Amino acid sequence: MLVGREMTVDEVVREVMRDKVFYDESGGGVTLSGGDPAVQHDFSRALLRRFKVEGLHTAIETAANLQWHILASLLPVTDLVMMDIKLVDSEKHRRATGSSNENILKNAVRLSKTGKPLIIRVPVIPGVNDMADEIAAIAKFVQGFPNLWYLELLPFHRLGEGKYEALGLKYAASSLTAPTKEKMKELADAAGKFGVKVRGY
Amino acid sequence: MLGLGMAEEQAELSFDQRLAALRETKLRQTREKQEALRVMDQDDHGRIMPPKELQDLTEYMGPSGEMVRDAKLNNFKPKSNHPSSGFFGAKACGENFRLFLEAHPVYIDPMSSMAGGYMAYFMGYRNPGWPPELDYPSLAEEQRKYGIYAGIGAPQHFCQDMVIGFELGWGGLLKKIQRYRKVNPKSADFYDGLEQVIIGTRDWMRRHVEAARRMAAEEKNPTLRRNLLEMAEINERLLTKPPRTFREACQWSVWYQMIARMYNGSGSMGAVDVWLKPLYDWESAAGTLSDEEAIFHLACLLLNDTQYFQLGGPDAEGRDTTNRLSFLVLEAVHRLKAPANIGVRVFDGLDPELLKRSVEIMFEDKTGFPKFLGDKGLVEGFARNGYSVKLARERIYSGCHWFAIPGREYTLNDCVKINFATVFDVAFWDMMNNTKIKPSVDELWRSFERHLHRAVEVTKEGLDFQMKHMHEVFPELVLDLLCYGTIEKGLDATNGGLEYYNLCIDGSGLATVADSFAAAEQRVEKEKRLTWSQLAESMKNDYKDAENMRLMLSSIPRYGRGGTRADEWAVRVVQAFVRFAKEKPTPAGFNIIPGLFSWASMISMGQTVGATPNGRHAGAPISHGASPDPGFLRGGNAPTAMAVAVASVQCGYGNTAPLQLDMDPGLASGEEGLAKVEALIRGHFELGGTMINMNVVDRKQVLEAHKDPSKYPNLIVRVTGFSAYFASLSKNLRQLVVDRILAEET
């Protein structure tokens, strides 16, 4: 391994439980993010189960581009799901990410029927989805989800650039700049028209 | 003088305008200090430079190992009463202090509502500071061996009760002395000393009264003329009478805090929102004092000196003392944006608004103010000494990292330290040089325990020596005035005048030792990557040509990360320390309370310690108090990890092991961020933590300021228990602050 270290479920739990008092004081909990915790779902499931036993609030961040039964198997030990939707249009999605969004959207609809608290997050990327109609399309898609807490717009940032540089990789997004506050406001307004609660910057 | 045009000269001035002018003056005075004194490795006191023609510049070695300058008044020469040319004892100290005050110039800023400003430190004239015949060579040798700061000759570091002064005034105090002089004729020398302090103070005040009248006669601005006349009237009254208004109480406190600071450096004031409350309540109910005016007087009080204050917290019965005044004090410091030493005492019953506002101000002002105090750990701990919970709640924050019961307890806090790293150094070489034993971690621990035990005993013996002689050397004449029992019994606070004696011993360099044990255990014993003699050889050569070995040793999982062997060693070291401190009182019977703190002495303490197995070079600074070494955790959530680690090494008897946190300003953006910081504070205290010193630093700015401090004369950082102007610190101390920040960045 280049970086990081391998850990067992026990080790992670021990590490996390050291800070339990701070979760209690802040009303916080544990979020498995990634990458995508659904990729190592056996480990994630075991870990989340242990957290539930310890009485912690649990959340996962996922792109949901996987077989439903895997995602479904994490839900009994998950209190909150945060899921990405980048675009509704399948063709544009393919062009931007290299794969279709068909499965993602299907999983989103399935998640909407589980009753599990859900946050839909949209990374706002210049030239890809920073247009009012693209964001509106996402808002329209999720507006009927009964378990939706809110739609969150996350502005593109360049924090990863240094990491690419350190690894000697080309930073493909080097020409992009973060969307302005005004832009984000405009997009949030576009989504808000569909009666969806929007959080953004 | 004010740089005002003719028209403005005649205009009334608002409190805001006057405060802005006072802030400007403070910055100019700080620059003057920085230029004249260069380095100030301590709190930024309110002290101002004497006029050039009275300045006498001297140099001495500061705590961070750099030469420090002091400016003395050249128109005062103390009178000796001893062959050593020093002066000792109550009468001589009191008389010399009176002469010192006679030589001290008058200072009035017409913008301020408070008269007075102090320019020199009386104790700097004590030479020698200790009479040569009271020598303690055998004690001194062992104290040196174990890196002990023995506290012999150390003054103040406990807290008076301001309420006594507010009730009696200078006139009432004089009468009290005269009354008890008859009861205790044997203490005549002591009473003479106390009287001299009051006589000198009143004379100094009287000169301010005259100066204020003279200045008023020439003052064109109506607001300032009125202010100067009121100032004269108030101070004339205060020469004998106790204060009866809020402004008078602040003015009385200003005189008291100045003489306390000048006499022997005391900066303890205690629960300001409690002792000022009756007059504030009375005046605001009567409609004679607006909150704006109260804030202004408080700001003037705070500008006069950086004293230690507590806000909020339980009274003896457990009810929150937070009141309107607590918020006004916060607001005064917020508007000043100058260094201040104020602690907010956090407990379950605390008005949540006070904590919230404190955290907001901390992130907005970035001056390391206020700090946070963990009531639960403090009260439960102090009660463990056999005291009631009620009494424990009355132990108030009044110094860098410490607490005292106002007017009733002598503590010698923050003056007595054992350098764990030195003890480890001695223990390690004792084991290696003993040919009869085979080196091992067990042997090393046994050796460490034995030497630590002896170090604590020697420290206790030193404390008895201090308690036996301090009163005949340099008694606490200013603090004695406002204590219960001193005047009544005719005894100095160091000589049995008070009710409670709980002497402090702090341990320093915990992480250095814990990591050293863990490094030797892992690399030598478990992994057998090197032998004991190879380790010893490299340490002897300060890791010369052994950089790989040094890095291997320093790269073990270190104290602070949580769940590591080093974390366990840290707890074990503290438990042993506490056991030795508490197993019995000093031979003369004084109770000891252990804590962990190194003030700003990490540099000087490290200079005498050889290379250590954690990869630390010989002479390098030791770790700070209870803190993990900077860089103990790469990535990860350092603030919570540190909060857990430091909570796990609390000594548990009511003295502190502070958590030192440097936070990025971005961390607390918005309500949510602030709530997280609050949760961090509450969480640490829930775990038993006793104190949090938080620094909100803009890293870029500090790094730039380190390159050229003169560019950022106003940048304030929390160094340790105190905040100071970054540009005033020595290069060594600035480097430590910068290292801490850089380490947390990765």
Question: Using CA atoms, how far apart are residues B522 and B516, in angstroms rounded to an integer?
Answer: 10
pLDDT computed for residue B383 by the predictor = 98
Span of B78-82, B462-466, B542-546, B713-717 with lowest mean pLDDT? B713-717
Question: Using CA atoms, how far apart are residues B556 and B553, in angstroms rounded to an integer?
Answer: 6
Q: Which of A3, A26, A30, A159 to mutate to test the interface with B (most CBs of B within 10 A)?
A: A26
Span of A26-35, B123-132, B241-250, B403-412 with lowest mean pLDDT? A26-35
pLDDT computed for residue B653 by the predictor = 98
Q: Bridge partners of A124? A: A155
Average pLDDT over residues B156-171: 98
**Contact between residue B428 and residue B447 where contact means Cβ atoms under 8 Å apart:** yes
* SS3 track for B189-207: HHHHHHHHHHHHHHHHHHH
Span of B30-44, B242-256, B371-385, B419-433 with lowest mean pLDDT? B30-44
pLDDT for B567 beyond 50: yes
pLDDT computed for residue A47 by the predictor = 96
Nearest to B644 among A18, A24, A26 (CB): A18
Cβ atoms within 10 A of the Cβ of B731, count?
11
Burial of B667 (0-12, 13-18, 19+ CB in 10 A): middle
What pLDDT band is residue B35 in, cutting at 50, 70 and 90? confident
A10 touching B (Cβ < 8 Å): no
Contact A19 B686 (CB under 8 A): no
pLDDT computed for residue B724 by the predictor = 72
Tell which phi-psi region holds residue A115, choosing left (phi > 0), alpha (psi between -120 and 50) or beta. Answer: left
Average pLDDT over residues B258-280: 97
- The DSSP code sequence of A123-148 is EE-TTTT-SHHHHHHHHHHHTT-TTE
pLDDT computed for residue A201 by the predictor = 57
Chain A hits for B679, CB-CB cut-off 8 Å, are: 22, 25-28
**Contact between residue B330 and residue B362 where contact means Cβ atoms under 8 Å apart:** no
Give me B62's structure tokens. Answer: 């500061």
Average pLDDT over residues A99-111: 94
What pLDDT band is residue B722 in, cutting at 50, 70 and 90? low
What pLDDT band is residue B8 in, cutting at 50, 70 and 90? low
pLDDT computed for residue B78 by the predictor = 97
CA distance B554 to chain A (A): 18
Terminal CA-to-CA distance of chain B, rounded, Å? 50
Nearest to A25 among B563, B641, B679 (CB): B679
Question: Using CA atoms, how far apart are residues B503 and B591, in angstroms rounded to an integer?
Answer: 6
Residue for token pair 């507590």: B310
CA distance A65 to chain B (A): 28
Span of B20-34, B168-182, B266-280, B642-656 with lowest mean pLDDT? B20-34
Q: Which of A15, A16, A20, A22 to mutate to test the interface with B (most CBs of B within 10 A)?
A: A22
The pTM assigned to this predicted structure is 0.89
The DSSP H or E segment spanning B659 is: strand B659-663
pLDDT for B227 beyond 50: yes
pLDDT for B551 beyond 70: yes
pLDDT computed for residue A85 by the predictor = 95
pLDDT for B615 beyond 60: yes
Nearest to A21 among B563, B637, B686 (CB): B686
Contact A22 B643 (CB under 8 A): yes
pLDDT computed for residue B138 by the predictor = 86
CA distance B683 to chain A (A): 5
Burial of B743 (0-12, 13-18, 19+ CB in 10 A): middle
What are the CA-CA distances from residue B354 to residues A121, B341, B546 (Å)?
35, 16, 53
Nearest to A22 among B562, B563, B640 (CB): B640
Question: Using CA atoms, how far apart are residues B561 and B571, in angstroms rounded to an integer?
Answer: 13
What percent of chain A is predicted at pLDDT more than 70?
Answer: 94
pLDDT computed for residue B729 by the predictor = 79
Residues 6+ apart with CB under 8 A from B269: B159, B162, B253, B257, B307, B308, B309, B398
pLDDT computed for residue B746 by the predictor = 42
pLDDT for B63 beyond 70: no
Question: Using CA atoms, how far apart are residues A183 and A197, in angstroms rounded to an integer?
Answer: 18
pLDDT computed for residue A1 by the predictor = 41
Looking at every residue in chain B, the average pLDDT score rounds to: 92
Which residues of B lie inside 8 Å of A (Cβ-Cβ)? Answer: 562-563, 637, 640-641, 643-644, 675-676, 678-680, 682-683, 686-687
Chain B hits for A22, CB-CB cut-off 8 Å, are: 640, 643, 679-680, 683
Contact B680 A22 (CB under 8 A): yes
Closest to B650 (Cα-Cα) out of B583, B597, B606? B597
Q: Which of A10, A25, A181 to mutate to test the interface with B (most CBs of B within 10 A)?
A: A25
CA distance B676 to chain A (A): 6
Long-range contacts of B563-568 (CB under 8 A, 24+ apart): B563/A14, B563/A15, B563/A18, B564/B518, B565/B517, B565/B518, B565/B521, B565/B522, B566/B514, B566/B515, B566/B517, B566/B518, B567/B514, B567/B645, B567/B648
What pLDDT band is residue B391 in, cutting at 50, 70 and 90? very high
pLDDT computed for residue A178 by the predictor = 81
The Cα angle at residue B205 between residues B204 and B211, in degrees rounded to 5: 95
Nearest to B675 among A15, A21, A26 (CB): A26
CA distance A50 to chain B (A): 18
pLDDT computed for residue B33 by the predictor = 85
Q: Bridge partners of A32? A: A60
A162 touching B (Cβ < 8 Å): no
pLDDT computed for residue B666 by the predictor = 73
Q: Which of B659, B667, B672, B687 to mutate to test the interface with A (most CBs of A within 10 A)?
A: B687
- φ/ψ (deg, to 5) at B29: -65, -35
Residue for token pair 């045009």: B5
With b for 16 or more beta-carbon neighbours within 10 A and e for fewer, the B10-41 pattern comes to eeebebeebbebbbeebeebbbebbeebebbb
Question: Using CA atoms, how far apart are residues B681 and B663, in angstroms rounded to an integer?
Answer: 13
Taking the CA atoms of residue B565, residue B567, residue B569 and residue B574 in that order, the dihedral angle to the nearest 10 degrees is -170
Closest to B23 (Cα-Cα) out of B303, B291, B247? B303
Question: Using CA atoms, how far apart are residues B48 and B304, in angstroms rounded to an integer?
Answer: 9
Q: Which of A11, A19, A33, A57 to mutate to test the interface with B (most CBs of B within 10 A)?
A: A19
Chain B hits for A159, CB-CB cut-off 8 Å, are: none
Chain A hits for B680, CB-CB cut-off 8 Å, are: 22, 25-26
Average pLDDT over residues A24-39: 88
Closest to B221 (Cα-Cα) out of B452, B487, B4? B4
pLDDT computed for residue B41 by the predictor = 63
A14 touching B (Cβ < 8 Å): yes
Contact A26 B679 (CB under 8 A): yes
Q: Where are the alpha helices (DSSP H) in B474-594?
A: 477-481, 486-489, 510-519, 532-540, 547-554, 565-582
Q: How many CB pairs under 8 A join A and B?
A: 38
The amino acid present at B534, given as its one-letter code, is Q
Contact A21 B641 (CB under 8 A): no
pLDDT computed for residue A163 by the predictor = 67
What percent of chain B is predicted at pLDDT more than 90?
Answer: 79
Residue for token pair 């601005």: B221
Among A179-183, B145-149, B623-627, B629-633, the range of highest mean pLDDT: B145-149
**Contact between residue A33 and residue A62 where contact means Cβ atoms under 8 Å apart:** no
Give the β-pairing of B308-311 and B341-346: parallel
- φ/ψ (deg, to 5) at B52: -50, -45
Span of B67-71, B215-219, B330-334, B655-659 with lowest mean pLDDT? B67-71
pLDDT computed for residue B9 by the predictor = 74
Q: Which residue from A minimizes the CA distance to B686?
A: A21
Chain A hits for B563, CB-CB cut-off 8 Å, are: 14-15, 18
CA distance B562 to chain A (A): 7
Tell which phi-psi region holds residue A97, choosing left (phi > 0), alpha (psi between -120 and 50) or beta. Answer: alpha
Strand residue runs (E) in chain A: 30-32, 58-62, 80-84, 118-124, 148-155, 198-199
CA distance B569 to chain A (A): 17
pLDDT for B512 beyond 90: yes
A199 touching B (Cβ < 8 Å): no
A19 touching B (Cβ < 8 Å): yes
Write the pLDDT tens digit of every residue in A43-61.
999 999 999 999 999 999 9
Nearest to A25 among B637, B641, B682 (CB): B682
Write the pLDDT tens digit of every residue in B235-249.
999 999 999 999 999
Question: Using CA atoms, how far apart are residues B47 and B262, in angstroms rounded to an integer?
Answer: 9
With b for 16 or more beta-carbon neighbours within 10 A and e for fewer, the B395-424 pattern comes to bbbbbbbbbbbbbbbbbbbbbbbbbbbbbb
Average pLDDT over residues B684-689: 96
pLDDT for B66 beyond 90: no
pLDDT computed for residue B95 by the predictor = 98
pLDDT computed for residue B1 by the predictor = 43
Average pLDDT over residues B115-129: 94
A21 touching B (Cβ < 8 Å): yes
A25 touching B (Cβ < 8 Å): yes
Taking the CA atoms of residue B723, residue B729, residue B732 and residue B735 in that order, the dihedral angle to the nearest 10 degrees is 60
Contact A19 B644 (CB under 8 A): yes
What pLDDT band is residue B635 in, cutting at 50, 70 and 90? low
The separation between CA B689 and the C-alpha centre of its own chain, rounded to angstroms, equals: 19
What pLDDT band is residue B64 in, cutting at 50, 70 and 90? low
Contact B678 A25 (CB under 8 A): yes
A28 touching B (Cβ < 8 Å): yes
Burial of B61 (0-12, 13-18, 19+ CB in 10 A): exposed
Contact A25 B640 (CB under 8 A): no
Residue for token pair 């101000």: B361
Chain B hits for A15, CB-CB cut-off 8 Å, are: 562-563
Cβ atoms within 10 A of the Cβ of B716, count?
24
- The DSSP code sequence of B67-118 is EEEEEEETT--PPP-STTS---SHHHHHHHHHHHHHHSPP---TTSSS----
Write the pLDDT tens digit of every residue in B316-332.
999 999 999 999 999 99
Closest to B452 (Cα-Cα) out of B140, B145, B153? B145
Could you check whether the bond before residue A35 is cis, i.e. omega within 30 degrees of 0? yes
* Integer Rg of chain A from CA: 18
